[in-house]
Amino acid sequence: MDMNAMHQQLQHLTDRAEITALLDRYLRSLDEGTFDEEWARAFFTEDVTAEMPIGTVRGRDAVLARIRGGMALFDRTVHLGTNAVIEIDGDRATARGAQLSTHVLAGGAPGAGELFVSAGHADTELVRAPDGWRIAASALRIVWTRGTPPRLPADLAA
């Protein structure tokens, strides 16, 4: 194998590892519950588009507000992502994986303490930024749910 081919293969493997780590850190961060501007910059481009079960938003600030509001509906969560197929083309990449999310409904609301579970496919477009890979677009398409979903406040209704 020549040096150029070896360098390209090493870059591909490094990019793949960095994208996998970004997606894993993102899902873990949903369970940790710290949603601030630093959090948003660590995961999203400024002009990100995110299609979520609670609506589609555009822009990093809008994604931050929507996720912060949506996650406030739960006392505790566990988000699992698996089977990610990652395709890399230079400074752009796509990833498609399965996502299973378990939520405990927040106290003080109807159904408090009950479980709401959802599963689906997460499609993600990523770009290489100066400080690493970032999510430029994402779509979470739910395939099935179990339990009663939380009641969305008016500002989160799609």
* pLDDT tens profile 84-94: 999 999 999 99
CA–CA dist 149, 158 (Å, integer): 14
Q: What is the pLDDT of residue 139?
A: 98
Angle of CA points 1, 87, 98, to nearest 5°: 135
31 alpha carbon, distance to own chain's centre:
11
Tokens of 109: 């609301």
Question: Is 0.85 topped by the overall pTM?
Answer: yes
CA–CA dist 128, 49 (Å, integer): 16
Amino acid at 135: I
